[in-house]
């Protein structure tokens, strides 16, 4: 990810690696390239910038969230490529074998998709996108559903619901 930034008014209390205390809130401009898909994602993200050495620091959790949000956008735009699939999977912190197990596929199939030997399956792509959207919304409903199916647990004998 490459980037540049612009200064903003807030000044959090923090010290730079160079030792300077002149560290200010900053907006970093980052970009993520997907050359095989013909897509470049650009984003403005909160960062910190040292007034002394000009080092720009973006928190790892911000980068993690950016990867998730970019993955959702790729899915929303219908970028059905192995490159996008791999980005989405990695943004979720899942290994190819994890995704294969959750989606009832073989790791070889995932590998074929991600290396461009075959186009990803639409249903698998959408399931991965649902997991990404859940992660952005800080929930795990799709992953939990898939996990339950993988375990093959029998459903409870009765359901109690209340509609308001």
Residues that bind Zn ion (CB under 5 A): 16, 18, 20, 50, 52-53, 55
As measured in angstroms, the least distance from the Cβ of 56 to Zn ion is 10
As measured in angstroms, the least distance from the Cβ of 9 to Zn ion is 19
Distance between CA 101 and CA 24 in Å, rounded?
A: 45
Distance between CA 32 and CA 52 in Å, rounded?
A: 28
Give me the DSSP letters along 39-93: EEEEEEEEEEEETTT--EE--HHHHHHHHHHHHHHHHHTT--SHHHHHHHHHHTT
CB-wise, 53 or 141, nearer to Zn ion? 53
As measured in angstroms, the least distance from the Cβ of 23 to Zn ion is 7
CB-wise, 53 or 77, nearer to Zn ion? 53
CB-wise, 20 or 31, nearer to Zn ion? 20
Distance between CA 72 and CA 92 in Å, rounded?
A: 11
Cβ(110)–Cβ(98) below 8 Å:
no
CB-wise, 57 or 112, nearer to Zn ion? 57
């Amino acid at each position: 990810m490459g980037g540049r930034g612009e200064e903003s008014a807030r000044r959090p209390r923090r010290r730079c690696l160079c030792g300077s205390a002149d560290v200010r809130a900053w907006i970093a401009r980052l970009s993520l390239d997907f050359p095989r898909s013909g897509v470049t994602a650009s984003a403005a993200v909160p960062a910190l910038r040292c007034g002394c050495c000009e080092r720009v620091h973006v928190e790892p959790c911000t980068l993690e969230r950016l990867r998730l949000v970019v993955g959702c956008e790729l899915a929303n735009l219908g970028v059905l490529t192995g490159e996008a699939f791999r980005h989405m999977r990695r943004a979720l912190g899942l290994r190819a074998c994890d995704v294969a197990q959750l989606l009832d596929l073989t790791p070889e199939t995932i590998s074929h998709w991600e290396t461009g030997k075959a186009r990803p399956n639409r249903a698998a792509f959408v399931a991965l996108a649902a997991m990404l959207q859940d992660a952005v919304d800080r929930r795990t409903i799709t992953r939990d559903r898939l996990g339950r199916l993988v375990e093959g647990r029998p459903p409870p004998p009765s359901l109690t619901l209340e509609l308001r």
